[in-house]
Structure 1
Amino acid sequence: MPKLLLINPAKNFGSTGKIVEQIGLLAESSGWEVKVAHSVRYARISRLKSMSFSSKIGERWHALWALLLDRQGLHSTIETRRLVQMIIDYQPDLIHLHNIHGYYINYIVLFKYLASIDVPVVWTMHDCWSFTGHCTYFDMVNCEKWKSQCYECQNLVNYPKALTDRSRKNFQQKKEQFTSLKNLTMIPVSNWLGELTRKSFMGKYPIHVIHNGIDLNVFRILTNYQAKDTKKMVLGVSSNGFSGRKGLDDFVTLSKILPDEYQIVMIGLHQDELAKIPINIVGMGRTANVEELVEYYNRAAVFINPTYSDNFPTTNLEALACGTPVVTYNTGGSPEAVDETTGIVVKQGDVKELASAIMKITNNPKPSLVCRKRAVELFDKDRCFDAYLQLYDYLISK
């Protein structure tokens, strides 16, 4: 039985944690022995075997030094040595990296070890952090320095927030470490990120785009929730707040433009964001109740995603699976979820165009079954994540 080790800060928590869980369960059902190595902070009950190697105090120190000195991924040395020992003890046949930022791994310690062993490594890219000197996304500052050499970063205020600029050195260190492996395969989760990766220093490696998938048995059409609301619900959902890149200000502006027949509902607001939204927006915090979320997707007349930086948001897929059309900004890989029969893509930052698209799509509703059909054909988790299993089998048989 081949052994698979998955590494990610979150275990069955948040978008990447759930993706790791689904990949691991599918691999397990296909004859792999699976373990997840994760940080101590973001862990929920999982059906997979797992091992935590970080510490809360270590992650706090890592986050502090990253803030002060722009050193994300350069602390947690003891914790990462613990991870290396876990890998030695487990002896996996394949290692699958997901996010290695998040204040829990020292990437130099990890990659020096990975370069010393003859084990294939797969790296799923959920953002752009691997090939920049600082950013996870750079759309909002319209920067292309990552193509050659990062310096004088204009994006220090965004995650991973830093008070000093170390982007030149970070870029050089990442390039040296991340390109040191002999057997590495990169997996961007959108065509958009795939093109960026090919233009970066990671373009030397094989690159295969595998879109994220969702559980279509969970996200589904509930016929008893059709046409229950007196107003047309315009729904926004985020797993980690709406400030900055997720378009909080645009939701507020939109609430001033849309006619009274519409009701904006935002799920996933942080406490400070709840205090900022006007009274004509219904806002709530993050819900751990998936069935409640499914109900909101079903009740919505349209799902909107006015994101300014994104890779391939699963919220778009969840809405489609529940039969709800999507209006999104032309940002990153977000438009890849829809076509002309299931949604509308508008220019980033054009709130008037966003409002027009909402009114157009709700006055001429997209059939729920058409939205559902697109999700079933393209974004079923088993079909999407089976591509990983095929890749695993190929890599360990080489």
Structure 2
Amino acid sequence: MRVLQINSVCGIGSTGRIATDIQTILVKHGHESYIGYGRNNPGNNENVIRIGTSIDNYLHVAKTRITDKHGFGSKRATKKFLNRVSELNPDIIHLHNIHGYYLNIELLFEYLKKNKKPVIWTLHDCWPFTGHCTYFDYSGCECWDINGEHKCIQKKSYPSSYLFNNSKNNYARKKEAFTGVNNLIIVTPSEWLAKLAKKTFLSEYPIKVINNGIDLEKFRPMESNFREKYSLQEKFIILGVASEWTTRKGYGYFLDLSNNLSSDQVLVMIGLNNTQIKSLPGNIVGLKRTNNLKELAEIYSTSDVYINPTLEDNFPTTNIEALACGTPVITFKTGGSYESIDEKSGYIIENKSINELIHAIKKVQENGKKSYQSYCIDRAKAFYNKEDRFMDYIDLYQKFR
């Protein structure tokens, strides 16, 4: 079986690692695997196909910033890539994030309809069925509502437009492009996103839930000198990790928490930019984003609790990475973030309350991390081993051929 995956990145970030992890399992079981990707370095991964060039990316960015026509640039790059796909002749085409300044979605789906290849499409956010934004619940945007006006109120959110708001037209063009594919199955990592997708024009397709999985050889309890390096030996470490810290990711909650810490507590945030790091209060240790999984696992392991005050998310891999390292998780009951947590592995905050968040942190500190540790590790092993979760994809490929 020959499988082609398509994603904005390869080997980095949560979706890039999902694609390469699936590729590893495919090859392990004797199948052929290729990944088409849009930008950044693919690392040492084999059988990868770059879609376009950096110049193509920049032109697509410019088109998005000015006209709000994200996904409708990169025509030359997409045509060239689709010629390569025809030569490759895959048995299955597996789409991940098709946004990200690298693909022309109309040309891609025209090709899929014409060639009638079996298609798996994993939705990692809501962008495929909105007029612009990737998430909308927390802001109250209704540009996804099938019966609505489809005008986005978040045009400056990713993929941001500085001038025009083209969301109504974007929605109509997406609906036209994304419907009517003969052999397509939608996969979502969370029950939350599956329920949303069933309320959109994508409801014409079968929708299946496959949770994200992680590498339990890399994410496991580890020793490190992290506490010594940052002089945190006697501190209760409250950790947060994001690829980019925004309002939606809960950045403001960390700043609020910093005003409510006791002297033996400290916040550690990974994924900050330089401007954010410079403006942090003294009781927050701020670090830039890292793609070093060993370093990340060491920080999860030495932390006492992981908090994810996201206002909306799909199925954050950071939650299950923390669990696998034996660290309890506290998250809001938003999106699919809470689906990976139970009463033995952390706390779910119902109403996005800073006071309830503080209370949950105190509960973990009072009980001690060790009272949660084994439950967290067992839960990760039982439900989120990448070998198991991504074999679900292999099984789906084989049934769908």
User: Does TM-score exceed 0.5, indicating one fold?
Assistant: yes
2:281 aligned with 1:278: yes
Match of 1:108 among 106, 109, 123: 106
The CA distance in 2 between the partners of 1:327 and 1:16, in whole Å, is: 23
Where does the alignment leave 5 or more consecutive residues of structure 2 unmatched? none
- Distance in 2 (CA, whole Å) between partners of 1:229 and 1:33 is 48
Q: Aligned-pair distance for 1:260?
A: 1.4
Q: Do the aligned residues in 2 keep the contact of 1:225 with 1:298 (CA within 8 Å)?
A: no
**Aligned equivalent of 2:46:** 48
Which residue in the other structure is 1:8 paired with? 7
- Written as runs of structure 1 = structure 2, the 5 A alignment for 1:1-398 is 2-39=1-38, 41-148=39-146, 149-162=148-161, 163-222=163-222, 229-239=233-243, 241-347=244-350, 349-365=352-368, 366-396=371-401
Relative distance call for 1:111 and 1:20 in structure 2 (3 A) is: same
Alignment partners' CA distance in 1, 2:321 and 2:72: 36
**1:143-199 CA distance string (max 9 Å, x none):** 344231443311112111113211111111111110121110000111110100111
Counterpart-to-counterpart distance in 2, 1:121 and 1:73: 19
Letter matched to residue 269 of structure 2: M
Q: Distance in 1 between matches of 2:345 and 2:388?
A: 20
CA contact (8 A) 2:269 2:284 kept: yes
Asked whether the 8 Å contact 1:263–1:281 carries over to 2, the reply is: yes
Using the TM superposition, name which of 288-297 and 327-336 deviates more: 288-297
Aligned residues of 1:4 and 1:34 also touching (Cα < 8 A): yes
Structure 1 residue 276: Cα displacement: 2.1
Report if aligned partners of 1:25, 1:48 keep a CA contact under 8 Å in 2. no
Secondary structure of the residue aligned to 1:154 is coil
CA RMSD of aligned residues (A): 1.6
Question: Which stretch of the first structure deviates more once superposed, 63-72 or 99-108?
Answer: 63-72
TM-score, normalization by structure 2: 0.95
CA contact (8 A) 1:235 1:265 kept: yes
Take 1:117 and 1:217, find their aligned partners in 2: how far apart are those partners?
Answer: 39
Amino acid corresponding to residue 22 of structure 2 in structure 1: I
Quote the Cα distance in structure 2 between the aligned partners of 1:150 and 1:292: 46
Indicate how the Cα distance of structure 1 residues 354 and 113 shifts in structure 2: closer, same or farther if over 3 A, else same.
same
Closer, same or farther: CA 68–226 of 1 in aligned 2, 3 Å: closer
Equivalent residues of 1:11, 1:46 under 8 A apart: no
Paired residue secondary structure (2:210): coil
Tell me the amino acid that sits aligned with residue 181 of structure 2. Answer: L
How far 1:246 sits from its partner (Å)? 1.3
Shift of 1:348: 5.1
- Separation in structure 1 between the aligned mates of residue 35 and residue 151 of structure 2, nearest angstrom: 37
Local SS of the residue matching 2:209: coil
Identity of aligned residues (%): 40
Range with bigger deviation, 282-291 or 167-176: 282-291
Code of the residue aligned with 1:251 in structure 2: it is F
Secondary structure at the residue paired with 1:234? Answer: strand
TM-score, length basis structure 1: 0.95
Q: Distance in 1 between matches of 2:73 and 2:226?
A: 51
Task: Return 5+ residue gaps in structure 1 as ranges.
Answer: none
Residue 33 of structure 1: CA displacement?
Answer: 0.7
CA distance in 2, matches of 1:24, 1:92: 14
